[in-house]
Amino acid sequence: MPRFFVLGSAGWIPTPQRQTSCYLLETRRSLVFFDLGTGVSRLHDPMFKELIARHRRAVILLSHWHHDHIEGLPMMPFFLSNLEVALAVPGPSITGFRAAEVLGRYGGKPLLPTPLLDLDSKFPAGFSVVELHAGTNKVLGETIQVLPQPHSDPSIAFRVRDVTYVTDTKDRPETVEFARKSALLIHDAWLDRAGVEAEPADAAVHGTAEGAARIAHEAGVKDLVLGHLNPAYDAARLDRMLFEAATIFPKAVLAADMLALKLEEVAEEAPDPASTAAQVS
């Protein structure tokens, strides 16, 4: 039975309660990460060490290149060195940048002793970088649906099996069809009503709890997790935001680090090692 874990539920900066964006879908075939912010450090927990030991491969999906979604990249060898790993990123048809160019900026010397593009030796089972395009992609046998999104820098939404992940974009009608009948939707909920009024520039590129709830309702999803939460909001403000969302979609929940969900309706696929997305040499 597939399981879904919240490893990092915040955007921008980590707090004592919340690490930055990182989510994990465990399937029979592989581990699928949605973004790799500081939340990947939650893999220190013994539960996750046992989980990782059961698997042979991991697919890491990056929604975009902003720091709070990629700060865990240098940690990959520490946690995942025994697995075959594919790092799947938005390709140049979406961002205008090749993966090698961006990874070279972030992970070249003198910032890291081993540049991110030279990690092959850290992963004996294999390491690859895959550039994703809009539509259907195959990565280590997993089917990845990709939807480009507007943000301050372009981002992408993912659909893997029946799990849809939408972060760092405003509430969009295009998301409704993309998420249609998902077992689980994780949607950006950066702002509440007051935040929209006070920060119109943020509202142009980020989602709201109410907007996420409307999308979940219209798409007919089973469950909704409100993610990429604003670290400037205290617990009371987040609770009010959840209340606003729950009046529209009663099964909405706030993302919380170490939240675990069982996904009974997610169909398992037969093993298929093929990969048709573009691999960076």
Query: What residues does each domain of the chain span?
Result: 3-260
For 222-256, what is each residue's pLDDT tens digit? 999 999 999 999 999 999 999 999 999 999 999 99
Could you say which of 3.40.50.2300, 3.60.20.10, 3.30.70.370, 3.60.15.10 is the CATH number of the domain covering 3-260? 3.60.15.10
Phi, psi angle pair for 153, to nearest 5°: -130, 145
Widest pairwise Cα distance in the chain: 51
* Residue entry with tokens 């969900």: 261
CA 241 from chain centre, in angstroms, equals 21
For 180-230, what is each residue's pLDDT tens digit? 999 999 999 999 999 999 999 999 999 999 999 999 999 999 999 999 999
